[in-house]
Structure 1
Amino acid sequence: MPRRTATMLASTLMLIALLCAGVLIKAPYSEMSPGPTVNTLGEHDGEPVLQISGHRTYPTDGHLNMTTVRVTSANYRMSLVEAVYGWLARDSKVVPHETLYPNGKTEEESTQENAEEFSQSQESAKVAALKELGIPVNSWVVVSTVVKGSPSEGKLHAGDVIKKVDGTAVKEPSDVAELVTKHKPGQDVVFTIVPAKEQAAAEKEHRTATVTKDVTITTATSNDGGAPRAVVGISAGTDHTFPFTIDIKLADVGGPSAGLMFALGIYDKLTPGSLTGGKFVAGTGTIDDDGTVGPIGGVEMKTVGARDKGAQYFLTPAENCAAAAKDTPDGLTLVKVKTISDALDALEDIRSGNTADLPKCTTKG
């Protein structure tokens, strides 16, 4: 066989071998890509996303779209070829598998966590919107979760309202841990609670729950790797009652990043006039009860998804601005927001045409 032919054959076989290896070798990466966007002012699967009863609502127009990101499943392993393609593609992002599923988190665990965060984001969106409107919201500290096998198992339950710890009134979830850790492991701590069933009955009957009971729990020693301290095995959170009904109908979505857009949609429906002036505005961002907007993951994918659907403006958490501005889709203006008030001010500029005054994202933030 002539040397040239042999060299070409060897090169071809080597190329085939490399391609096969690229397909067969699995890389420790996952992929993110633009997910669906949903107009919080509109409908999804045939019913309004935001449904409000018991309070006057007003017509809306334009778009206030929440945005999402698709991710590969926990069990999926990308080939080397897919990883390289993802790195080169503009509409996807390849990240280490551990970024999406840390510490070996399973798909089921991730889904459950995302569902819980999504539910909490809806509650915070309602609170933030009503606070911005000056509408009172009743709030209290509750038991969010009870750790299996902990001293609190069987004694405290999710939904119990924590009124006092050792006789000291509890006003914030952080108060609970602060009061418990004043003890040494093995000492008793007394919780004064309204049982979850009593609280639920009181809410249903539109009355204030008055039945309380004291629960004594013997503290254990923490085992989370930090300095040893007294723990009882619960996490505390905040629950609310609203003066009227606000339902958010959106399935198959998880995580906390739609909070800002839900809050703005609620605000728009409860106020006369149009927040957007008919413009197509999309955005993202977590929100807390006080209206502070927090950062999210996958912002580059969300801006691409929003622009593909026709968005002109994208409300961007301040901490995500630098990353989002590195590759802004053509025709999309990134607007920096830190609070719901910032977002409302920006929407006022958008609908009035004063876009030169918008606080725009830059690669520096």
Structure 2
Amino acid sequence: MSSRARALLVCTALVLAVLVTAALAPLPYSVAYPGVTANVLGDDKGKPVITVSGVRTRDTSGQLRMTSITATGPDASVHLPDVVRAWFRTDEAVMPRDSVYPVGNNTEEIAEHNAEQMKQSQETATHAALNRLGKSAKDVKVTLSLADIGGPSAGLMFALGIVDKLDGDGAGHDLTGGRTIAGTGTIDADGAVGAVGGVALKTQAARRDGATVFLVPRKECTDARAELPKGMRLIPVTTLDGAVDALKALNSGGAVPSCTGA
């Protein structure tokens, strides 16, 4: 074997070694998938998601579904082949691990953090809904129960569920119009809706579970359009009042906000 051939063989072996090492080395990413959805107007594990006492509630039709994503755990190893595969799939997304798990180093710490965020989200959703309806938390008690799902992104849908159960569209009709409507977004006590991330995967989860309309924080319109399932209509929102008005317009045939050009 000539010295040139020998050098080429060594170089090839080194390149292969580098590629194998890169393929096997864990990367600081998580792979996310469409997660579960839940109808906040219905039951979860045999218990109503929304229970209201101190005031008369309405019977509702249709569904308001909160959405979620599922991601590989903080301790899971994600490698180059996993990342490459996810890039070519519409039902997977590669996300920096720190953006999926911003706090905690193990599943217990993360679960505790997500549970606390969910609790805060439920409290602010209740305040936002009652503020919109001109009701006081002293007179109306709202209990929200949704097991095994954490984080703040269900705030908007919780608030809409409370409004629908107490007031509907204000004229004796359901906010849903009998439809299955899904959505996502944080909410504060004043009713402002915030971005959450993972919306392209959430629209897929929503369509899988029968939704035809998806309420999305306006700032995330572009992400939501990226892998929008066929038959899904996006409605951008920035506030609880805006979301209620959009659903009223959808039911009455009025002008409904669109993500086109957003």
TM-score by length of 1: 0.63
Distance change >3 Å, CA 346–CA 120, structure 1 → 2? same
Aligned partner of 1:255: which letter?
G
Which residue of 179, 189, 192 corresponds with 1:279?
A: 179
1:296 counterpart = 2:193: no
Alignment deviations for residues 138-196 of structure 1 (CA, whole Å, 9 cap, x no partner): xxxxxxxxxxxxxxxxxxxxxxxxxxxxxxxxxxxxxxxxxxxxxxxxxxxxxxxxxxx
Q: Which structure has the bigger radius of gyration?
A: 1
1:59 counterpart = 2:32: no
Aligned partners of 1:278 and 1:351 also within 8 Å: no
Q: Which runs of 5+ in 2 are unaligned?
A: 1-15
1:347 counterpart = 2:243: no
Once the two structures are TM-superposed, the CA of residue 56 in structure 1 deviates from its matched residue by: 0.2
Aligned partners of 2:44 and 2:147 also within 8 Å: no
Which residue of 255, 259, 262 corresponds with 1:361?
A: 259
Aligned with 2:67: secondary structure? Answer: strand
Aligned partner of 2:60: which letter?
T
Moved more, 23-32 or 125-134: 23-32
| 1:186-335 equivalences in 2 (<5 Å) | 242-271=138-167, 272-335=172-235
Once the two structures are TM-superposed, the CA of residue 274 in structure 1 deviates from its matched residue by: 0.9
Q: Distance between the aligned counterparts of 2:223 and 2:193, measured in 1? A: 16
Aligned with 1:26: secondary structure? Answer: coil
Q: Distance between the aligned counterparts of 1:102 and 1:315, measured in 2? A: 25
Moved more, 58-67 or 79-88: 79-88
Alignment deviations for residues 244-267 of structure 1 (CA, whole Å, 9 cap, x no partner): 221111111111110010000011
Q: Distance between the aligned counterparts of 1:61 and 1:81, measured in 2? A: 45
Aligned with 2:58: secondary structure? Answer: coil
Higher strand fraction (1 or 2): 1
1:185 matched to which residue of 2? none
Aligned with 2:230: secondary structure? Answer: coil
Q: How many residue pairs get matched? A: 245
Distance change >3 Å, CA 310–CA 330, structure 1 → 2? same
Aligned with 2:52: secondary structure? Answer: strand
2:237 matched to which residue of 1? 337
1:122 counterpart = 2:122: yes
Aligned partner of 2:89: which letter?
A
Once the two structures are TM-superposed, the CA of residue 21 in structure 1 deviates from its matched residue by: 6.0
For the aligned residue pairs, the C-alpha RMSD in angstroms reads 2.3
TM-score by length of 2: 0.86
Distance change >3 Å, CA 22–CA 61, structure 1 → 2? farther
Distance change >3 Å, CA 320–CA 79, structure 1 → 2? same
Q: Distance between the aligned counterparts of 2:35 and 2:112, measured in 1? A: 19
Aligned partners of 1:279 and 1:351 also within 8 Å: no
Alignment deviations for residues 311-344 of structure 1 (CA, whole Å, 9 cap, x no partner): 1110111111122122321111110111111001
Alignment deviations for residues 201-238 of structure 1 (CA, whole Å, 9 cap, x no partner): xxxxxxxxxxxxxxxxxxxxxxxxxxxxxxxxxxxxxx
Aligned with 2:235: secondary structure? Answer: strand
Once the two structures are TM-superposed, the CA of residue 48 in structure 1 deviates from its matched residue by: 1.3
Distance change >3 Å, CA 37–CA 104, structure 1 → 2? closer
Percentage identity across paired residues of the two chains: 46
Aligned with 1:360: secondary structure? Answer: coil
Aligned partners of 2:221 and 2:259 also within 8 Å: yes
Aligned with 1:322: secondary structure? Answer: helix
Once the two structures are TM-superposed, the CA of residue 20 in structure 1 deviates from its matched residue by: 6.9
Higher helix fraction (1 or 2): 2
